[in-house]
Structure 1
Amino acid sequence: MTRTMSRSTHNEHAQYGYVDGTGIEVLHARFERHRFTAHAHDTWAIGAVLRGAKDSMTSARHPSIVSAGEVYAIPPHIAHAGMSIGDQGCEYVMLYVPDAEWRLQCDIHGVSPHALSQPVKMRHAMAPFSQFAALSMQSPRLSSAWPDEWALLCEAVLGSMNDRHASAQSSSIVADRRVRDAQTYLQAFSGRNVSLDELAREASLSASELCRRFTAAFGLSPHRYQLVLRLKTAKQLLLDGMTPSAAAAATGFADQSHLGRHFKAVFGVTPGAVARRNSAKTF
């Protein structure tokens, strides 16, 4: 279940989202005068500043300024405060991610959990942060979209922090039967979401090891590979005459808009455009 709360004062606003079962909390806020008192979290605090700038105040001696387009992370149990910098206020998204989940994602992408201890300019990740926050504020029926959005957000943030893709297509890894078994399994079940744990069991590898080997072999993480397969299946269903909403349901997307966002990102057109094109064909 997705739960949301919001509050607004003049030009300041704050929205809170949480999806049961993920352990990830989300804060999307804009503050001008509000100042956080010193506190600490049991989780990692992964933040992205969308507009303006803020001082995360992780040090009593030195300011920790985070500017628009930058991403940063505060480890669990690290005391910090916070305030906006300048006259324009600060809009940001903050994710509160359990330690085990953040370390798993960092391990998958070959990045230290502390790689964001200093802010990193990452403008391409602002949209995924905003989309992830927006989804957390929406209705419970969209909770099935979280695995897609979370994996894509982690790819946007963590995938850009290493150069493992330079070693893609390693013949020895492609020849690994376990990696090929995982690929075959994803192809066989391209019409539904296959969880990472399920795929790892099929390949007889740990989740993190499977991700490393699979990404090195095919240049895409298992989740991205599966997402593209599902999009290709959806496109074929549209060409076969299925409606966009039915194609979304048949390929494991939360709804038509969820399918549409990823469909356009890969194919450059909307599912509706493909469906209309198909209905206009003459034989």
Structure 2
Amino acid sequence: MSSLHHAWLGPYEISSTTCSGLTFARHSHDECVIGVNLIGEEKVWLDRHTFEAGPGSITLYNPGQIQGGGAAQGAPWHFVSLYAGADRLAADLGLAHLEFDRALCFAPALAAQLAQAAKGALSADPLVRGLSEDALVLRLAEVVRLSGVRLPGSASAGSQLVAQAQELLAAQLQQGVALDALGDELGLSKFHVLRTFQKETGLSPRQWAMQLRTRRAQGLLRSGLGAAEVAHDLGFADQSHLNRHFRAAYGITPGRYQSAIRSKTVRLPQPQTDL
């Protein structure tokens, strides 16, 4: 019995597999392959060598490397795989070239975080998929660093970079700015932008844009504009997404907020800072 879920998240191809025993003939890939073992013992054959990868292990394969192996027949196995072109992954992380120095890393916490971010790509919710991409970029950087690759340092002018990014995000709030496009506009890798932005603000660019949408929604609702129109004007996926984020931020639905404003008799909850 086995199940396979497959999806694309930006430039990355992702699969999540649950099975009972599965083996792969010796083969290779054009892309970098990062595997996360969550359940089960995998026996790996890689370039004429064998090793074991148990739960919490992250396996790393460079393009063209001959690999094979799998789990014993009948043994439960759950793993997540991510495929990314070496040039694209290098560019995303601000590197001129990328080649893994280690084929196996044992890091249970990081493995779980990477798997969670990758599985977010399978969500039907576009906002969840977007947040998963942000998390995935950060986790991939940790995996690459763990494999022995040195990543470039942070920019010294972090606050200036963040101010430029915030200006771009605010100017295109309705349509949104993808992380790739933000990096291109600023002339930096998306990892560099994401890491610097999060260090300076405590939020990813996507999260910062969402809190700005929610804040502006409050003003539009206060002026009497309907929730459906507010959701459309500010680039929410739909009214239910506006409701969810507004309630998370302010502890009240947009409808109740407008009713409270009109009647001026309902005490509003204090805004929450954790979005």
Q: TM-score, normalised by structure 1?
A: 0.66
1:131 aligns with 2:120: yes
Indicate if the aligned counterparts of 2:57 and 2:104 stay in contact, CA closer than 8 A: no
1:224 alignment partner AA: S
1:237 aligns with 2:217: yes
CA distance in 1, matches of 2:163, 2:178: 17
Indicate the residue corresponding to 1:39 in structure 2: 27
CA distance in 2, matches of 1:247, 1:71: 44
Indicate if the aligned counterparts of 2:162 and 2:196 stay in contact, CA closer than 8 A: no
1:105 aligns with 2:92: yes
Indicate if the aligned counterparts of 1:53 and 1:66 stay in contact, CA closer than 8 A: yes
Aligned mate of 1:73, from 32, 35, 60: 60
SS in 2 for 1:119: strand
Matches within 5 A, 1:122-201: 122=110, 123-132=112-121, 134-135=122-123, 138=124, 146-159=129-142, 173-174=157-158, 176=160, 180-196=163-179, 198-200=181-183
Task: Tell me the CA shift for residue 42 of structure 1.
Answer: 0.7
Indicate if the aligned counterparts of 2:173 and 2:234 stay in contact, CA closer than 8 A: yes
Task: Tell me the CA shift for residue 114 of structure 1.
Answer: 1.9
Indicate if the aligned counterparts of 1:182 and 1:199 stay in contact, CA closer than 8 A: yes
Gap regions ≥5 residues in structure 2: 265-275
Indicate if the aligned counterparts of 1:200 and 1:207 stay in contact, CA closer than 8 A: yes
Q: Relative to 1, partners in 2 of residues 1:71 and 1:256: Cα closer, same or farther, differing over 3 Å?
A: farther
Task: Tell me the CA shift for residue 218 of structure 1.
Answer: 6.1
Q: Which has the higher Rg, Structure 1 or Structure 2?
A: 2
1:125 alignment partner AA: L
2:78 alignment partner AA: E
1:96 aligns with 2:80: no
CA distance in 2, matches of 1:233, 1:37: 50
Task: Tell me the CA shift for residue 247 of structure 1.
Answer: 6.2
SS in 1 for 2:18: strand
SS in 1 for 2:81: strand
1:49 aligns with 2:37: yes
Indicate the residue corresponding to 1:6 in structure 2: none
Matches within 5 A, 1:252-271: 252=235, 254=237, 263=245, 270=248
2:170 alignment partner AA: Q
Indicate the residue corresponding to 2:252 in structure 1: 274
Deviates more, 1:114-123 or 1:33-42: 114-123
Size of the alignment, in residue pairs?
250
2:188 alignment partner AA: A
Percent identity, aligned pairs only, is 16
Task: Tell me the CA shift for residue 196 of structure 1.
Answer: 4.4
SS in 1 for 2:45: coil
Matches within 5 A, 1:9-20: 11-18=1-8
2:168 alignment partner AA: Y
Indicate if the aligned counterparts of 1:215 and 1:222 stay in contact, CA closer than 8 A: no
Indicate the residue corresponding to 1:26 in structure 2: 14
Deviates more, 1:88-97 or 1:24-33: 24-33
Task: Tell me the CA shift for residue 77 of structure 1.
Answer: 0.8
CA distance in 1, matches of 2:165, 2:228: 29
Indicate if the aligned counterparts of 1:128 and 1:153 stay in contact, CA closer than 8 A: yes
What CA RMSD, in Å, does the superposition of the two structures yield over aligned residues? Answer: 4.4
Task: Tell me the CA shift for residue 80 of structure 1.
Answer: 0.6
1:118 aligns with 2:104: yes
Q: TM-score, normalised by structure 2?
A: 0.67
SS in 2 for 1:107: coil
Indicate the residue corresponding to 1:207 in structure 2: 188
Indicate if the aligned counterparts of 1:173 and 1:217 stay in contact, CA closer than 8 A: no
1:275 alignment partner AA: T
For residues 106-137 of structure 1, give each alpha carbon's deviation from its aligned partner in whole angstroms, at most 9, with x where no partner exists: 327x99652663224113333212212x23xx
